[in-house]
Structure formats: structure tokens, C-alpha cells
Structure 1
Amino acid sequence: MKNLVLSFTLLASVATAQKQGVVLTHQEAQKRVEVTVDGKPFTAYIYPGPEVLKKPVLYPIRTAGGNFITRGWPMDPRPGERVDHPHHVGMWFNYGDVNGHDFWNNSNDVKGHGGPFGTIVHTGVKSMKSGKDQGELTVTADWLDKDGKPMLQETTTFIFRGQGNERSIDRTTTLKALDKDVTFKDNKEGMVAIRVARQLEHPSNKPEVFTDAGGVATKVAQMDNTGVTGHYKSSEGVEGESVWGKRAKWMNLTGTINGEPVSVAILDHPKNVGYPTYWHSRGYGLYAANPLAPSVMSEGKDKPMNYVLPAGKSVTFQYRVLITSGPVADDALNQKVNQFTRL
């Protein structure tokens, strides 16, 4: 009996140890890779296919306290959320004009609007590794034109970390042009982005459409700002909705979710094209960095880039997202940038 108890204790200890650290689990049937930190859900890389989503994304994303920083709608509607931009799901990477194709706005719910649309299709999990301090996931995808022909080949490596009150995601994406030059025309719709939860929006009194408790769209004449606490601040000291169209090395969005003070910072990297990036960040919950559209983002003050990637050549973009439970000082974020750029 004593040996049996010891065996059960040992098995329990092994199971607990297996949950510690950053663990990645590929659920192939569900087309997702789950990421946990010390046994707690953090995020998931999901690739349900073009019938559901026109790109792979990270969804949802949680704080160390277990609160969602990402909007639920349209995947999992929550009461009081805005019903807009159905292509804003989780955290993603794409662009609004790639050889004339709109990858940003493509959605099954977009009717009679724009185009031609491009689609990003997951092609494989190249490698996956769990670890005590971090987990690493490398995936591949094709950027398809309106006829389903690949124009870009994408390889992305995510590094997930979690310790104490902090979670982080590094995204390194390499795009390779295939048989033709690829032009990223100056366009405001880009590039790395998160659609944040209602609590992280900036308060607004404009009439809007929201979801009710059943996920049904409901028009409201005046918005209820209860619990809406979002506030942007950039590395250059610009705050609030004025950050849109400004350049900065990092952006920090703060707020409170279910009583948990939250900081969501996105860090740019000096090796990125267009550094320091312009910020396509809106008070209604779109939180994006766009390095390729200087003319549009500056409202004509800067010259267009119209970045061209020659056939057979590659370009790499690197970003870090820091999700902290509690306040983060500007000096601390500058130190985080130094750590990120030294890697």
C-alpha cells in the first residue's frame, strides 16, 4: 500500500512538472497549437482555414491573471463588444495592398467591398518546442492572390515566455517573394496588429453597434463606458488617440480588466524596414504598427515608400509584445527594448 501511494505521488509530481514552464500542444484535428504557462492557458496559434478565417492568427491572448486582452467577437462574442471589422481577430500580420491585393480586409463577412482580396493559408508546423523558460513555434504559410496562386512564402517563428506577472510574444516573420517582384504599396491597413478587448478601448460617446448577451448585434445611441479604461502612450511621449500616424519605437496600451491592471506594449525592432514604425492604433480597439506606409500615415507629410521585394528575395520583420499585470514605467520599457534589440 505504501509503495502504491508513493507511485501515485510520483506520477502526480511528474504530471505537475510537465505542466510547468511554457508548453505547446499541437491539436491537429482542431487546427490549433495551444500555449500554456505553468499549466494556465496563454494563447493559441489557430489556422482554421479560409472558410473560417482568411489568415492564421494568435487567438485568444490572456494576461497572467487569466483575463483576455483580445476581443471575442466574431469568434466568441462577449456582451458589450463592438460589432465591426470582422477581419480583426486576435493578433495577426498582413497588409492592405500587396501587388494590388488586399490581405487586411479579407473576410467572409465583407460583402461588396474592395478587393481583389488576398488570402494567407497555413501550410505547416515546421518545428515546435516547449521549455522551462520559453516555448518556440515555427510555422509556414502562403500568401495567395485572387486566383489562389502564391506570391509570397511566409516563415514565422513565435517565442512565448511567461514568468510571474509577465507574458511575452516574439514574432519574427520572413516573407520571400516567389516568381515575381512584390510591391507593398503605401497603404494604411497594416501590418502587425491586435484587436483588443472592450476594456482596453478608449472611452467614446459615439453611437455604435454592440453585441448583447446572446451575441446579437444591437444598436445603441450612446455608448456605456463602464469599465472602459484604455490609454495609449508612445516612446515619444504622445498619448491617447493622438498616437495614430505618429512614429515611435514602442507603444504601451494600459487599462484595467476585471480589476486587473494591464499593460500591453508592442516593441519595434531597429532592423525592421521603416523603423521606427508608424502606429495605426485607434481608440476603438485596433492596435497596430505599420512601417510601410509613410505617406498615408503622415497624411502626405512624408514620401511614399512603395516597398518592393524582388523575386526570390526575402525580408524579415521582428516584433515583441509584452503583457504585464500591473504598471510598467517608461524607463522599464526602454530597457526591454534594449534587451530585445540585443538578441
Structure 2
Amino acid sequence: MNKYLILSFCGLSLQLNAQTKRVSFQPQKNGKQIDVSIDGKFFSSFLYPDSLEKPILYPLQSASGLTLTRGFPLNTRDQERTDHPHHVGLWLNYESVNGLDFWNNSYNIPEAKKSKYGWIRGVQVTGYKSGNHQGELSYTANWERQDRRVLLKENTRFVFSGTGNTRTIDRITTLTAVQDTVKFKDVKDGMIALRVTKELEMPSNQTAEFTDSQGNRTKVSASGNGANGDYLTSEGKKGNDAWGTRANWCLLAGVKDQQEVSIAIIDHSKNPGYPTYWHARDYGLFAANPLGQQVFSKGKENLNLQLSPGQSITFRYRILISSSEKPSAEVLNKQALQFNQTK
């Protein structure tokens, strides 16, 4: 029986490899940008200009060429929300690192308040390699205070792959405390996240208000913009019920331009706090936050992660983007099983 399962799993792997497309990279001369193409089609760009408070992947496109991330603040589109300017593309950071807010930092924070926020700066691309079945891009960066004192050294590796109707990103990020003990307080906003196109928002007639860790308020209006997305977790939670619950994957699916599209985030069993809590909002913020346990459990759990100088921790996530058909729970469970075999 076990032998049969192993052979079946290997068969799945071989089938996936037979279908995968070539991944290539193109650095741009006019800025800190590396474009990622799969099967000769643009997929995303790794952006790390000094004008951003963190490096991002932006935009994200399906295999059929549909853009699934919000345009604002880099490229505002009609009928899209313009709230939360720190929600841009796909990113990884956290709301409370030694009391500094890395998550909510953006151009919108007044200079007088910037000292309460952290930056991810000094991004250095350490390598990228094209391939027939997958491509890899690696970089290092510093999680810094405003006085440039480095709290964390980041080492990130992206593994990109794709088939005829999927695009996959495996992100492996290691954070190492440098000079100081680094404390990640249990808070709501973190950790890997993306902000989606208006079609993948959930329908809503509510106006909501959100306050960041420094008391800054942001209002989010009712959707009324063709939103039709819905969440599903591996534990069967749907819609708004997904928020603040644990699961090893979460799927956001909807229809754009009369085509079924979806994004799944898959957790890894070696991650801290596995299975993660989901910070999945109806207005289009889709995030996995394993470190905010006290908030999501309403005080029943505590993590308060802490790294001593020289100590490291690694976060691993898979992003699966599908078009033309929505992946079933069985497919996502197989993806999770395969992903958990990676180091």
C-alpha cells in the first residue's frame, strides 16, 4: 500500500514535470526590476526600488494573461479601491518587530511619524537562473530601523514554475537577528500577503474602518465593483469565516473577464505556528500570519516569537495561481503534500 502511494506520488511529480514551462528572467535597465516570464509570457516583476518600503512581486498574472493583483498604488485602475497604500503586489513583512511597524509603512506615513516604522532596505539580488522546468531568483535585504540599525538580515529564494493553466511561486525566506534580540509581538498584520484585483474581492455592502498600530485610520468603502471572490480553507471554512482560523491552505477564487481564476496560499509544515492563521479580508487583502496567535485565538494562545543575535528562522510558502478552472480540495491537498517534501 505504501509502495503504491509512493509510486502514485512520483507519477504525479513526473506528470507535473512533463507539463511545466520554461522560466526566464530579464533585468530592466531603467530601475531595480527583474521581469519573470513563463513559457515566453510575462508573469511578474521583482521590484525593489528605493521608493518602496519593501521588495515585492508585482503584478501577478495568470497563465491566460489576466492580472490578479490590485494596481494601486503603482498603477491605479478604474473602480479599484485606493485604501491601504502599503498593500501592493505580493510581499512579506510584519507589524511589530521590536515595536517597529514594518507592515503599515508607506509613502502615506508623515515624516514626523516615520520613526515608529521599519523598512526593508539594502536589497541585493544574489542570483537568478532560468530553466526549462523552473527558475530561481535570490536576494538579501536588511530589516532596518530609521537610523539604519539592522535588526534582521533577510535571505529569500523564489522558485517559479508554471503549466498551461497554472503559475507557482515557492518563497523561502530566512530571517536572522543581527545585533539585537528581535521580538515579534503577537499582532494581526502579517506575514506573507497580497492584495488582489477587484473581481477577487468578496461582495460587500459595508463600509469598514481599520486602524494601524500607530493609530492611523483607513476607511474601506463597500465594493459595488464586480466583486465575486470567495475563500475556502483546507478545514472547510468559507468566506469571512476563514479569517482568524487555522488551516494548511487557503484558496481565493472568483471570475474575471468570464474566466475562472484563483489564488491559493499553501503553508509548510516546518513553518513556525503551523498550520497558520489566515488574515483573509473580504476587501481583497489575502494573508497568512502564523505569528499573531494571541489576536486570532482571542488570548487562548501565545507565541511572541523571539530571536537572539545570530539566531535564524525560516518561512516557506507556496502561491498557486490557476486559470480556466478552480483547483479542488484534493488537488490542493496534493500540492501541500508535494510542497512539504521540499526543504
Give the equivalent residue in structure 2 for 1:192: 192
Please tell me whether residue 308 in structure 1 is matched to residue 309 in structure 2.
no
CA drift of 1:222 comes to 5.9
Structure 2 counterparts to residues 82-101 of structure 1, below 5 A: 82-101=81-100
* Deviation larger for 24-33 or 142-151: 24-33
Aligned-partner Cα distance in 1 for 2:335–2:203: 29
Structure 1 alignment gaps of length 5 or more: 1-19, 210-218
Give the partner amino acid of 1:38. D
SS in 2 for 1:30: coil
Per-residue deviation at 1:162?
Answer: 1.1
Q: Relative to structure 1, is the Cα distance of residues 195 and 298 closer, same or farther in structure 2, using a 3 angstrom cutoff? A: same
The aligned amino acid for 1:324 is: S
| Mapped contact 1:102–1:115 kept (Cα < 8 A) | no
Q: Which residue of 2 aligns with 1:248?
A: 247
CA distance in structure 1 between the aligned counterparts of 2:168 and 2:221, rounded to whole angstroms: 38
Contact residue 114 and residue 146 of structure 2 kept, 8 A: no
Distance of 1:152 and 1:170 partners within structure 2 = 21
- Distance in 1, Cα, partners of 2:103 & 2:247: 22
Letter in 2 for 1:27: Q
Distance in structure 1 (CA, Å) of the matches to 2:303 and 2:334: 30
- Greater mean alpha carbon deviation, residues 137-146 or residues 110-119: 110-119
CA distance 1:185–1:223, shift in 2 (3 Å): closer
Deviations 1:242-300 (A, max 9, x none): 11110000000000111120121000000000000000110000000000111112222
Provide the residue aligned with 1:47 in structure 2: 48
| Structure 2 residue 22 is matched with structure 1 residue 26 | no
Write the deviation string for residues 143-188 of structure 1: whole angstroms up to 9, x where unpaired: 0012111111001000010111010000000011101111001111
Q: Where does 1:98-109 land on structure 2 (aligned, <5 Å)?
A: 98-109=97-108
Aligned to 1:171: 171
1:18-66 CA-partner distances (Å, limit 9, x unpaired): xx711111225321110001211101100011xx210000000000111
Relative distance call for 1:28 and 1:180 in structure 2 (3 A) is farther
Where does structure 2 lack aligned partners over 5 or more consecutive residues? 1-20, 210-218
SS in 1 for 2:116: coil
What amino acid maps onto 2:233 in structure 1? S
Q: C-alpha distance in 2, partners of 1:125/1:38? A: 23
Name the structure 1 match of 2:156. 156
Q: TM-score if structure 2 supplies the norm length?
A: 0.87
**Paired position in structure 2 for 1:125:** 125
Return 27-36 or 328-337, whichever deviates more.
27-36
**Structure of larger gyration radius:** 1
Aligned counterpart, 1:15: none
One-letter code of the match for 1:276? P
CA distance in 1 between counterparts of 2:178 and 2:150 reads: 8
Matched residue, 1:281: 280
Check whether the contact 2:80–2:225 (CA below 8 A) recurs between aligned residues: no
Distance of 1:132 and 1:163 partners within structure 2: 11
Q: State the alpha-carbon separation in 1 of the partners of residues 113 and 258 from structure 2.
A: 40
Partner residue, 1:224: 224
Q: How many pairs does the alignment contain?
A: 311
Amino acid at match of 1:144: E
Of all paired residues, the percent bearing the same amino acid is 48
